[in-house]
Amino acid sequence: MQTMTPSFLRILFFLCFVSQSTFLFSQKYSNEFLNIGIGARAQAMGNAVVANVQDVSAGYWNPAGLVNIGLVDEIQIGAMHAEWFAGIGKYDYLSVAMPFDDNQRVLGVSLIRFGIDDIPNTLSLYESDGTVNYDNIVPFSAADYAALFSYAQKMNIGNGSFRFGGNAKLIFRQIGQFASAFGFGIDAGIQYEIGKWQLGVVAKDVTNTFNAWRFGLTDAERDILQLTNNELPINSVELTRPQLILGFSREFAIKENYGLLANLDFQITTDGQRNTLVSADPFSIGPRIGLEGHYKKLIFVRLGANNFQQDTDLGIDPFWTVEPSLGLGIRIKKIQIDYAYTDVAEQRNNTFSHVISLQLNLKRKAK
């Protein structure tokens, strides 16, 4: 079967954003671009990293993990670029974190953009006399932006190490000249390490995250939507419900210089019934599984699985699908390069993508 061209797919995205505009205000799956995941390491491990993330990417996954940057007295910079759906959707990430107060606390900033560019605006394709004028087609972009400001601190409790942190996040979403939204939310996370076990908990959007949408359609565009039997969008507020992620991790020493890290996360959503392993209303639970083998913590091999869903075909009993992933990593002095080969939708749709991320460690000068 012939694959769809990028230009045709962009038209499909355009139809989703404009002619089905009522979906924009559904509270379910709100701000879902922030659930895709950042960093090739996490993507290769099925996004199961809440308990053990210890680098600059913790600002996204679990801000409590940023404390570990202070243990090595380094400034860390992380970046990622990924392309979904044959390069139509572009996902970019940049972050920096720095310890202070004698390395007891860490501050971080993360920037995220997920966008679909060059979507053809066909609302003005026809002239008033009914003729087609392709010169009226003007491309636009639909993009989501987020800025996360993170803080983390460490405390010693009993025989274990306790870390906690939080995010204040600003959200901006824009669909060409048609619509835009501003939002604000708060995340909180903890990590607890005892022996070879690590536990992590992240509460996202703990106070609910509000996106205030504003639409800027012209009178002519409103007339076209009405003539094509589409509902006219109105200024509204979109609500992102809280979710809780529980993570468990353990390090296994196989033999000298070799080790294995096993991870298990549970994502608990509160926005209604979802197609997950445990599906209920309002709570649904989806597991994430990740493995990371390493040699001297310089060379890494990773496997993961998440997004367990039940599917069906006509005439066939329901069956379960899963998004598998794998990847590699290498650390060369102060630079770490990670690669992931992962799925972003149903496995049978062959939507596997390549993800590459880079991390740079800068040693701070002694006082």
Sign of CA dihedral 238, 203, 57, 252: negative
Give CA separation, 168 vs 76, 86, 109, 149, 337, in Å: 20, 33, 10, 5, 28
Residue 78 lies in a domain: yes
Residue pair 30/238 in contact (Cβ under 8 Å)? The answer is yes
Residue pair 120/137 in contact (Cβ under 8 Å)? The answer is yes
Q: Which of the two residues, 14 and 262, has the higher pLDDT score?
A: 262
- The pLDDT of residue 342: 86
Q: Which amino acid is at 82?
A: A
Q: Given pLDDT bands bounded at 50, 70 and 90, which one contains residue 365?
A: low
In angstroms, the CA 137 to CA 133 distance is: 8
DSSP characters over 165-227: EEEEEEEEEEETTTEEEEEEEEEEEEEEEETTEEEEEEEESTT-EEEEEEE---HHHHHHHHH
Query: Which domain range does residue 303 map to?
Result: 6-363
> What element of type H or E holds 42?
helix 40-44
pLDDT tens digits for 217-237?
777 777 777 777 777 777 788
The closest of 127, 165, 133 to 148, measured between CA atoms, is 165
Residue 1 lies in a domain: no
- The pLDDT of residue 6: 46
The percentage of the chain sitting over the pLDDT mark of 90, rounded to a whole number, equals 45
Q: How many domains does the chain have?
A: 1
Residue 234 lies in a domain: yes
- The pLDDT of residue 344: 62
- The pLDDT of residue 351: 65
Residue pair 66/97 in contact (Cβ under 8 Å)? The answer is yes
The percentage of the chain sitting over the pLDDT mark of 70, rounded to a whole number, equals 84
Burial grade of 13 (CB within 10 A; 0-12, 13-18, 19 or more): middle
pLDDT tens digits for 170-210?
999 998 888 899 999 999 999 998 888 999 999 999 988 88
Q: Which of the two residues, 26 and 198, has the higher pLDDT score?
A: 198
**Token pair in block for residue 180:** 């835009």
**Token pair in block for residue 32:** 């879902």
Check which CATH number belongs to the domain holding 197 and give it: 2.40.160.40
- The pLDDT of residue 11: 40
Strand partners, 159: none
In angstroms, the CA 202 to CA 188 distance is: 6
Residue 63 lies in a domain: yes
Tell me phi and psi for residue 73, to 5 degrees.
55, 50
Is it the case that residue 5 has pLDDT exceeding 50? no
